[in-house]
């Protein structure tokens, strides 16, 4: 059966009357009461209006369509020659439907069980076929690759995202809504900074560790959350769970103003200012000088960690670094987040969260910035123009973005670094990833998955538990702590650089 939309068909002017008379004869022969012409009738049948009766009977149409074996919908402005139209009339039942009727018919056929089953099978086959292209791409030196494949096998495993959650935006959003929160009991510590401020650290000492019963030698993992994150974020809790089950100690570095503590000075944080991180690393090293220390950063936390490693070089005091979902080029990341959909879903939400934090510390911050002006920011770029660049003394927002971007600073790093990014991360576009640098730097490995979004990496039908990112974290920190000599050798790093 052919279903045609009257307002979408353009008939040739010649033989119009004869064509419609043929159509009427066919409809009478096929026991269809009347032709249904509901839209733009005057444009189609003006020459034979006296010969055509227009009747609307959706019930009759539905009955006829239920008996049909096939429905064909012609596209908009489809030109049907008179000869072909007449041929169709002799072969098939022809109905001319309005726009609303066409949608009703389409929905009826889409909702049929056979259609649903076929669509499900097609989607499943596409998903399974697509898995062939979902092995992560590992960009690094040959020696680093051998080390990772031997001690961190997850880098060579296929990452198959949750079937109903493929896209980067969905992965990013669903992770926030569905990811579980492992039970973690922190011990909080406040340390003072040189400017009179304070930093909130959340510790998990893991005193019951069987692998490392001695406190002084127990490996420590330093975790840096994202832009508006703290120690209670689900990805932080899962990281702590991965580390403690392996016997390690954890400490979460909460950015100023986001760990529940009060601001003692009119200063918060930014991705380019590593002074607070330097203070934290020094503090941890003083407490446990014989315990190896590894740093891991997520999103902005990863940017901060990379900038710190580049600034400190061989004096970083870390055995290795691990970053997830880093924005390598801040300007490119802002441009991506300002695309219409990303602006609506992510940009405005993050800007609002930052503004709430500023408003919470209004009394302290209004001495150095125009808080009311800052609170009117609707995007991250506007926030950085009105607050971050002013607070940290940059001439413009662009100057701050250039200083905050870690991609240009990778050559100044010396410790082994593994960096995880997704090609569909709306916060970090694929073209901005430092692939060329990772190819020539012996101590940097870039692992790129085809899916995963921003801090998503959800897999399985109901992805509440640990995901790909969590498993990578657990395997890499264990590889770094268990095989430090192999790691240094693979990255061509002298022994004295990391001691």
Cα distance between residue 356 and residue 251, in whole Å: 26
Collect all residues with Cβ–Cβ distance below 8 Å to 265 and sequence separation of at least 6.
193, 195, 196, 197, 364
Angle, alpha carbons 380-174-435 (nearest 5°) = 60
Cα distance between residue 348 and residue 74, in whole Å: 41
Which of helix, strand or coil describes residue 455?
coil
Which of 98, 299, 325, 450 is flagged as catalytic? 299
Cα distance between residue 158 and residue 385, in whole Å: 41
Which of 425, 428, 450, 451 is flagged as catalytic? 425
Cα distance between residue 430 and residue 310, in whole Å: 22
Identify any residues that bridge with 222 across adjacent strands, giving them in sequence order: 251, 295
Determine whether 425 is an active site residue.
yes
Eight-class DSSP state of 321: E
Determine whether 299 is an active site residue.
yes
CB 334 within 8 A of CB 227: no
Q: Could you tell me where the beta strands, DSSP code E, fall in 308-440?
A: 320-324, 417-422
The pairing of strands 72-73 and 78-79 is unpaired
Which of helix, strand or coil describes residue 422?
strand
350: closest CA among 377, 389, 390?
377
Half-sphere exposure of 418 (CA within 13 A, CB side): 28
- DSSP string for residues in 291-319: S-EEEEEETHHHHHHHHHHHHHGGGS--S
479: closest CA among 490, 466, 494?
490
Identify any residues that bridge with 417 across adjacent strands, giving them in sequence order: 321, 444
Half-sphere exposure of 200 (CA within 13 A, CB side): 22
Which of 151, 238, 451, 454 is flagged as catalytic? 454
CB 308 within 8 A of CB 277: yes
Determine whether 92 is an active site residue.
no
Residues noted as catalytic: 299, 425, 454
């Amino acid at each position: 059966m052919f279903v045609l939309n009257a307002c979408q068909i353009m008939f040739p002017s010649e033989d119009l009357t004869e064509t419609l008379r043929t159509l009427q004869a066919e409809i009478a022969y096929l026991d269809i009461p009347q032709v249904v012409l509901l839209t733009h009738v005057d444009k189609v049948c003006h020459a034979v209006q006296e010969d055509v009766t227009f009747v609307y009977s959706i019930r009759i149409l539905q009955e006829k369509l239920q008996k049909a074996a096939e429905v064909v919908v012609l596209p908009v402005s489809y030109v049907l020659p008179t000869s072909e139209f007449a041929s169709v009339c002799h072969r098939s039942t022809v109905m001319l439907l309005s726009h609303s009727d066409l949608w009703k018919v389409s929905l009826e056929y889409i909702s049929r069980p056979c259609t649903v089953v076929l669509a499900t099978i097609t989607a499943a086959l596409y998903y399974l076929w697509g898995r062939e292209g979902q092995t992560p791409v590992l960009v690094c030196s040959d020696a680093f690759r051998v080390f990772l494949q031997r001690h961190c096998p997850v880098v060579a495993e296929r990452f198959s995202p949750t079937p109903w959650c493929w896209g980067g935006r969905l992965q990013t959003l669903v992770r926030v809504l569905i990811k579980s929160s492992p039970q973690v009991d922190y011990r909080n510590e406040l340390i003072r900074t040189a400017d009179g401020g304070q930093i909130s650290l959340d510790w998990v000492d893991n005193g019951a560790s069987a692998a490392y019963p001695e406190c002084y030698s127990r490996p420590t993992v330093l975790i840096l959350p994202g832009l508006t994150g703290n120690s209670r974020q689900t990805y932080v809790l899962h990281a702590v769970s991965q580390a403690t089950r392996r016997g390690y100690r954890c400490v979460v570095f909460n950015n100023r103003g986001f760990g529940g503590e009060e601001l003692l000075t009119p200063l918060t944080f930014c991705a380019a200012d590593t002074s607070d991180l330097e203070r934290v690393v020094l503090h941890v090293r003083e407490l446990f000088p014989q315990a190896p220390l590894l740093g891991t950063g997520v999103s902005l936390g990863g940017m901060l960690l990379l900038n710190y490693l580049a600034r400190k070089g061989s004096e970083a005091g870390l055995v290795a670094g691990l970053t997830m979902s880093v924005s390598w080029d801040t300007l490119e990341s802002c441009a991506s987040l300002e695309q219409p959909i990303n602006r609506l879903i992510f940009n405005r939400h993050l800007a609002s969260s930052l503004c709430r934090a500023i408003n919470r510390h209004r009394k302290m911050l209004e001495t150095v910035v125009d808080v009311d002006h800052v609170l009117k920011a609707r995007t991250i770029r506007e926030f950085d123009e009105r607050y971050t660049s002013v607070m940290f003394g940059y001439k413009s927002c662009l100057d701050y973005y250039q200083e905050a971007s870690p991609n240009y600073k990778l050559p100044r790093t010396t410790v082994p670094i593994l960096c995880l990014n997704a090609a569909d991360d709306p916060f970090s576009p694929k073209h901005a990833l430092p692939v060329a640098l990772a190819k020539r730097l012996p101590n940097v490995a870039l692992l790129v998955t085809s899916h995963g979004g921003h801090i998503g990496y959800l897999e399985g039908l109901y992805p509440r538990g640990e995901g790909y990112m969590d498993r990578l974290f657990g395997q890499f920190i264990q590889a770094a702590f268990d095989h430090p000599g192999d790691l240094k050798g693979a990255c061509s790093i002298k022994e004295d650089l990391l001691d």
